Amino acid sequence: MAQAGFAAVVLIGILISIPAGAAPSNPALMATPPQPKWSELAVTQKIVLAPLSDDWDAMENYRQKKWLSIAARFSEMAPEEKRRIQVQMQSWDKLSPEERRTARENFKTASKLPTEKKQQLKQMWEEYSSLPDAEKEKLKQMAEGQITAKPARPAQLPAATPTPPTSSIPVSTDNAIAEAGSKQ
């Protein structure tokens, strides 16, 4: 179940990057000035960004800037959008450091995808999002089965039964022995 949740968080991370078409493909290349440390954030920012508190000071400047801009708009967001943002942060908070590293790598990979591939992913996500919860759960279980299942071994052909070598010398006939002796 954790792997399916992890997959969902990774997919969400990929999809978050899609609408940013005007942004450079690699935000780390942008010169983003240092952002405030966690202890320097306003109380309202800390409340909104609470799930990120443990990682805040180690986060890249451009990521901090992105989250600060989200926190600034948070009070004006629709309740559904607020809920979505909070769920994303909480999901991120629950990931292990290894899962976060993998999610970041997947995000970097996704940001390099061609536009048409990104659109395909976005469409797939929209289709998935519109499914009933029961269907989503079923898909998660199927995905878990694929992840944990061992690959099937290729079928092996039965071993061929070796055939005894044929001899040109008859063994059981008296005439053959006599003929062999007379040739000497």
Q: Kindly state whether residues 82 and 136 are assigned to the same domain.
A: no
Q: Kindly state whether residues 93 and 134 are assigned to the same domain.
A: no
Asked, for residue 14, whether it belongs to a domain, the answer is no
Q: Kindly state whether residues 117 and 95 are assigned to the same domain.
A: no
**How far is C-alpha 155 from the chain's CA centre?**
29
Q: What is the pLDDT of residues 58-84, one digit of tens each?
A: 988 998 999 999 999 999 999 999 999
Q: What is the pLDDT of residues 157-182, one digit of tens each?
A: 555 555 555 544 444 445 544 454 55
Q: What's the average model confidence in pLDDT over 88-97? A: 86
Split at pLDDT 50, 70, 90, the class of 34 is very high
Asked whether 89 and 52 are in contact (CB, 8 A), the reply is yes
Asked, for residue 184, whether it belongs to a domain, the answer is no
43 pLDDT higher than 50: yes
Quote the pLDDT of residue 41. 96
Predicted TM-score of the model (pTM): 0.47
Q: How far apart are CA 84 and CA 80, in angstroms?
A: 6
Q: Kindly state whether residues 42 and 95 are assigned to the same domain.
A: yes
- Residues, the chain: 184
Q: What is the pLDDT of residues 2-14, one digit of tens each?
A: 565 666 665 566 6
Q: How far apart are CA 8 and CA 137, in angstroms?
A: 12
Asked, for residue 171, whether it belongs to a domain, the answer is no
Cβ neighbours of residue 143 closer than 8 Å, sequence gap 6 or more: 3, 4, 7
Asked, for residue 83, whether it belongs to a domain, the answer is yes
Asked, for residue 51, whether it belongs to a domain, the answer is yes
Count structural domains, the chain.
2
Query: What is the b/e burial string over 19-49, where b = at least 16 CB atoms within 10 angstroms of the residue's CB?
Result: eeeeeeeebeeeeeeebeebeebeeebeebb
Q: Kindly state whether residues 130 and 77 are assigned to the same domain.
A: no
Q: Kindly state whether residues 85 and 47 are assigned to the same domain.
A: yes
Asked, for residue 159, whether it belongs to a domain, the answer is no
Asked, for residue 27, whether it belongs to a domain, the answer is no
Which range of residues forms the domain containing residue 77? 36-99
